[in-house]
């Protein structure tokens, strides 16, 4: 004898939900990251609502349950984690990360590229590209200024190696800045390339430029590379 289906009993609508879920039209749904759900018939709560009075609005927030970031089933306000962004005299950006309910306090995090010009990242956290602070670089010589922040040579390194260039009226000689020639010319130009001229001789051989106002000298370094190239006695030198 065959089976006769007399009808289908419809699924009963949910009337209460477990913690981590909220009731939506008779269905229990995942709370979703950035919210927490206490269960029962309580609605889900946006983490932004857990901020203390007067706290700034975070630029990012999510639910964190145990080791799971972006968890979809947070059950209490403590699971809400917020990130606030700030800046100061050493950093264009740093982040306070804390439980939303505690406000913009707690550990500070920054990245080396958020250090301001003339600063380098210190106190690496050995995770990602995160450090805690930036400090002033100290690698530029006298009569020079920094042009950017310090870039670590390897991950987590702490290195004061901000790029720098000589101030107006000075030219680079090795790792120092020396006064430029004052005999009416300070540079030699070849196409789009320039090289500084000095009032005294720093290399042997050297390029000598005579002007109505006196003599200027251009430093020569053996080998090819960037800069203006000069051949002396069959050897190629560069001015840069």
> What are the tens digits of pLDDT across the range 174-187?
999 999 999 989 99
pLDDT digits (tens, 9 = 90+) for 84-112: 999 999 999 999 999 999 999 888 899 99
Domain layout of the chain by residue ranges: 12-80, 107-167, 168-239
Kindly report the pTM of this predicted structure: 0.78
Alpha helices of the chain — where are they, by DSSP H?
Answer: none
Position 141 scores a pLDDT of: 97
Looking at the DSSP assignment, which residues form a beta bridge with residue 46? 35
Q: What is the mean pLDDT of residues 9-36?
A: 87
What is the CA 174 to chain-centroid distance, rounded? 29
Contact 97, 67 (CB under 8 A): no
Position 225 scores a pLDDT of: 77
Q: Measured between alpha carbons, how far is 141 from 82 in angstroms, rounded to an integer? A: 42
Q: Measured between alpha carbons, how far is 190 from 228 in angstroms, rounded to an integer? A: 7
> Does the pLDDT of residue 80 top 70, yes or no?
yes
Position 184 scores a pLDDT of: 87
pLDDT digits (tens, 9 = 90+) for 40-76: 999 999 999 999 999 999 999 999 999 999 999 999 9
Decide the pairing of beta strands 228-232 and 235-239.
Answer: antiparallel
Reading the block at residue 184, the tokens are: 């009416």
Per-position DSSP letters for 139-190, written without gaps between them: ---TTEEE-S----SSTT-------EEEPTTEEEETTEEEEPP-SS--EEEE
pLDDT digits (tens, 9 = 90+) for 108-148: 899 999 999 999 999 999 887 899 999 999 999 999 999 99
Reading the block at residue 114, the tokens are: 């958020």
pLDDT digits (tens, 9 = 90+) for 194-239: 899 999 999 999 989 898 899 999 999 888 877 788 888 888 988 8
Q: Is 6 exposed, middle or buried (0-12, 13-18, 19+ CB in 10 A)?
A: exposed
Position 126 scores a pLDDT of: 86
In the chain, % helix, strand, coil (3-state, to 5) comes to: 5, 40, 50
Element (H, E) at 96: strand 94-99
Position 239 scores a pLDDT of: 84
């Amino acid at each position: 004898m065959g089976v006769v289906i007399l009808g289908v009993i419809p699924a009963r609508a949910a009337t209460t939900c477990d913690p981590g879920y909220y009731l939506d039209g008779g269905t229990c749904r995942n709370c979703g990251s950035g919210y927490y759900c206490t269960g029962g018939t309580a609605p889900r709560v946006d983490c932004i609502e857990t901020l203390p009075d007067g706290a700034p609005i975070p630029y990012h927030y999510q639910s964190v349950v145990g080791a799971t970031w972006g968890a979809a089933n947070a059950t209490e306000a403590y699971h809400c984690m917020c990130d606030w962004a700030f800046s100061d005299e050493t950093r264009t950006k740093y982040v306070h990360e804390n439980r939303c309910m505690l406000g913009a306090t707690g550990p500070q995090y920054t990245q080396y590229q958020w250090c301001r010009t003339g600063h380098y990242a210190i106190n690496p956290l050995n995770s990602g590209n995160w450090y805690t602070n930036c400090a002033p670089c100290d690698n530029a010589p006298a009569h020079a200024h920094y042009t950017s922040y310090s870039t670590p040579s390897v991950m987590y390194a702490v290195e004061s190696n901000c790029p720098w260039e000589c101030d107006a009226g000075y030219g680079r000689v090795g790792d120092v800045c020396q006064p430029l020639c004052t005999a009416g010319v300070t540079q030699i130009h070849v196409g789009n390339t320039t090289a500084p001229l000095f009032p005294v001789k720093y290399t042997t051989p050297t390029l000598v430029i005579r002007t109505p106002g006196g003599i200027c000298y251009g430093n020569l370094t053996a080998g090819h590379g960037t800069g203006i190239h000069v051949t002396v006695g069959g050897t190629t030198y560069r001015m840069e």
